[in-house]
Structure 1
Amino acid sequence: MGRRDIDESDFRSRPSKRGSRPRTKQRPEHSDAVTGLVTGVDRGRYTLLVKDVGGADGVGEAGGVGGDGGADVGGGEKIVTAMKARELTRTRVVVGDRVDVVGDVSGGEGSLARIVRIQERTSTLRRTADDTDPYERIVVANADQLVIVTALAQPEPRTGMIDRCVVAAYDAGMSVLLCLTKADLASPDELRALYEPLGVEVVVTRRAASDGEVADGGVAGGGVAGGEGALVLASDSVEEVRDRLRGLVSVLVGHSGVGKSTLINALAPAAQRATGVVNDVTGRGRHTSTSAVALPLPVAVSEGEPADTFDGWVIDTPGVRSFGLAHVEVAHLLHAFEDLDEVAQECPRGCTHLADAPDCALDDWIDASPDDERPARSARLTSFRRLLSSRTGSDA
């Protein structure tokens, strides 16, 4: 048989196993990968902070890059843009993640690295759209502390939202700090009395009351930091918050309009986070932060002087309307209410703890409470039962 020319008919679009080499399940080890901290996410592109060549690789205990556990931003770190590798297509990378990256990690203009691994997370803060939504949304990873930012007025505080955030934080293994803003408009005493006995730390911020207070160190925190129309927070209240954030990775969560971005700008003026106003009709704020972003926390802020040392991270998140707890096991809800959890040990076996539960020790606890403590105890039990009924589909 003579030799013939090869044409299109000889092309096999789906070769047999015999005619093609089987795909291997082995993946490259990427032993040359470097560690980066995810500080921002924008439409499939990830902003990373990576230790520059010659420095100690790795992310410190407080979330900073380096081996000393501090956030020594500007001490040899560089900003790198990256995308996920194909094998991570179905895996979500979020702000706070520590990742291994390969490729062009020079950080130069137009460079693009590749995220090949996500390191084990120490904590994962999650939420759902509501208590029946099966889809979990990861807010941030590897945070040490959840800072619940709540305004004392404009908009009015919602204890239900606070309780939900406390439950989510404890479920994630994080500590909780309650930050009450706008104390110049309303007293924080009632909320302090409600949460401090439970071991929840409370800090309070207020706007500067006079020009003298501004001159003594008030911190601009609205609009473009220090710009026209900027709100000015009293410096002593800002520094009280800063003291609670030092050396930690803290994520700020709250409704729109509570002053979260204003506080961020006061803590880290270089952030220049946009701020909005509260609608006089609805009492709700307008979303100004559209995505989570991690910002280094300056040790101190001096007017006109750039920050040169940092100790910790603050993660700003978009304002939320709700904080669903569908991902939290019902049995874990009670653990977030330490006072109620202790009393519930006296409940009969199988007690549902709902309002119609017979012989529930929580009701006896309310009946036996002193007159001055009864309103606070009742509010706590009402909040817990509202969460419980929402998760179980029962009537409160």
Structure 2
Amino acid sequence: MSRRTSDYDESDVRIRPSRRGSRPRSKDRPAHEEALPGFVTAVDRGRYTILVAAGVGGRRLPERVVTAMKARELGRKGIVVGDHVDLVGDLSGGPDALARIVRLTPRRSVLRRTADDTDPVERVIVANADQLVIVSALANPEPRPRLIDRCLVAAYDAGLEPLLVLTKADLTDPAAFLEHYAPLDVRHIVTATGASRFQGLNALQQALEGRVSVFVGHSGVGKSTLVNGLVPGARRATGVVNDITGRGRHTSSSAVALRLPGEKGWVIDTPGVRSFGLAHVDPRRIIDHFPDLEPGTALCPRGCSHDEPECALDDWVTSGQAGPAGASRLESLRRLLRARSGESD
């Protein structure tokens, strides 16, 4: 005869042991002391191409390229081209080998941009670069000074040294364009194609030696053509400019780091851009890159944007304390401030 529910008491209840076990979870993560360092050269849909140096970690292994994925303990931490990471797992570099990225080394520099000047989401383009190479054609397509100004602001904000590279000088004289940037004292290199293909390439090679250099520019300016000339075998796709729109076709779909011949440095080629949002840049930091003008801001009213009638920099320049180039330098500062705010000159 079965017992009724009311006949049971609490002594009849049996507690099933938990299948998860009684040992408390530890917050300690594996130390991964055997992890080897690597340099991220490409990123593609959650897979990372990483160069592991020869003989690191006491292992007699040749330099090799491995494919890796991000370990779960890194969470949402992003990894980009130029990052230095630590790896575990299969580091043989074979076609079916897959390693894991377990640590991200602190970055010494970060180049960012946003979709536009109102977008709060920052997009990290490259990490650990030394200089930003801003590539612009002098013709076909026409140069875009406002985009160049925005790239300069991004370079200054990231602590990168800017280098302006002008291509297609065989189509037009660069003198007038360079005069526009003379007050900013930006280094520049002029290149040309045609009968003397890659004229100016030797000067560019010297400027890149011993550095990690990021190439940026809008489509069709000859950026990938330059990279192919600098790194034989790079095989970066090149395109043509549309005769109707005057715009180039996107030929690079993702950033990639390429080592210069003789291991003399790295070139990071990035996809062509048509906009460069600066929502992440605090305009107050731009003045730091004008040491001849910065002392004059001490007399500015509170919250001065340095581009308004009450700005004390006008009197500072008029008095001659900013030097003979003070007026042109002040105009360049305000040009960059307007570029950051999205205003037209």
TM band (smaller chain)? 0.7 to 0.9
Secondary structure of the equivalent of 1:261? helix
How far did residue 323 of structure 1 move? Answer: 1.0
How far did residue 389 of structure 1 move? Answer: 3.6
State the distance in 2 between where 1:378 and 1:328 align: 19
Q: Is the 8 A contact 1:198 1:338 kept in 2?
A: no
The answer to whether residue 323 in structure 2 is matched with residue 358 in structure 1 is no
Please say which of residues 238-247 and 167-176 is displaced more in the overlay. 167-176
* Change in 2 beyond 3 A, CA 1:289/1:342: farther
* Change in 2 beyond 3 A, CA 1:43/1:395: closer
Match of 2:263 in 1: 310
Give the letter for the 1:276 counterpart: G
State the distance in 2 between where 1:333 and 1:113 align: 41
Alignment of 1:152-301 (within 5 A): 152-208=138-194, 210=195, 213=196, 232-234=197-199, 237-298=200-261
Secondary structure of the equivalent of 1:233? coil
The answer to whether residue 120 in structure 2 is matched with residue 134 in structure 1 is yes
- 1:27-79 C-alpha deviation (Å, 9 max, x unpaired): 11000000010001111110010023xx2459xxxxxxxxxxxxxxxx93101
* Change in 2 beyond 3 A, CA 1:338/1:115: same
Q: Which of the two has higher C-alpha Rg? A: 2
The answer to whether residue 37 in structure 2 is matched with residue 35 in structure 1 is yes
Using the size of structure 1 for normalisation, the TM-score is: 0.74
* Change in 2 beyond 3 A, CA 1:292/1:363: farther
Give the letter for the 1:37 counterpart: F
Match of 1:330 in 2: 283
Alignment of 1:34-53 (within 5 A): 34-52=36-54
Equivalent of 2:108 in 122, 126, 134: 122
Q: Is the 8 A contact 1:252 1:316 kept in 2?
A: yes
Give the letter for the 2:33 counterpart: S
* Change in 2 beyond 3 A, CA 1:366/1:262: farther
How far did residue 326 of structure 1 move? Answer: 1.1
State the distance in 2 between where 1:45 and 1:27 align: 23
State the distance in 2 between where 1:248 and 1:256 align: 24
Alignment of 1:56-135 (within 5 A): 56=56, 76-135=62-121
Match of 2:336 in 1: 384
Q: Is the 8 A contact 2:307 2:334 kept in 1?
A: no
How far did residue 339 of structure 1 move? Answer: 5.9
State the distance in 2 between where 1:281 and 1:367 align: 50
Q: What runs of 5+ residues in structure 1 fail to find an aligned partner? A: 1-9, 59-74, 214-231, 299-308
Q: Is the 8 A contact 1:194 1:376 kept in 2?
A: no
Match of 1:69 in 2: none
Secondary structure of the equivalent of 1:167? helix
Q: CA RMSD in A?
A: 3.1
How far did residue 325 of structure 1 move? Answer: 1.1
Give the letter for the 1:253 counterpart: V
* Change in 2 beyond 3 A, CA 1:359/1:265: closer
Q: Is the 8 A contact 2:228 2:235 kept in 1?
A: yes
Give the letter for the 2:49 counterpart: T
* Change in 2 beyond 3 A, CA 1:56/1:87: closer
State the distance in 1 between where 2:310 and 2:334 align: 16
State the distance in 2 between where 1:333 and 1:138 align: 19
Secondary structure of the equivalent of 1:271? coil
Please say which of residues 154-163 and 191-200 is displaced more in the overlay. 191-200
Identity of aligned residues (%): 57
State the distance in 2 between where 1:11 and 1:191 align: 83
State the distance in 2 between where 1:124 and 1:386 align: 23
* Change in 2 beyond 3 A, CA 1:277/1:115: same
- 1:190-238 C-alpha deviation (Å, 9 max, x unpaired): 3322334433110111003x2xx4xxxxxxxxxxxxxxxxxx423xx11
* Change in 2 beyond 3 A, CA 1:117/1:378: closer
Q: Is the 8 A contact 2:67 2:97 kept in 1?
A: yes
Secondary structure of the equivalent of 1:138? strand
How far did residue 381 of structure 1 move? Answer: 5.3
Please say which of residues 333-342 and 166-175 is displaced more in the overlay. 333-342
How far did residue 11 of structure 1 move? Answer: 11
Using the size of structure 2 for normalisation, the TM-score is: 0.85
State the distance in 2 between where 1:317 and 1:271 align: 13
Q: What runs of 5+ residues in structure 2 fail to find an aligned partner? A: 1-13
State the distance in 2 between where 1:285 and 1:338 align: 37
Alignment of 1:337-348 (within 5 A): 337=290, 341=294, 344=297, 347-348=300-301
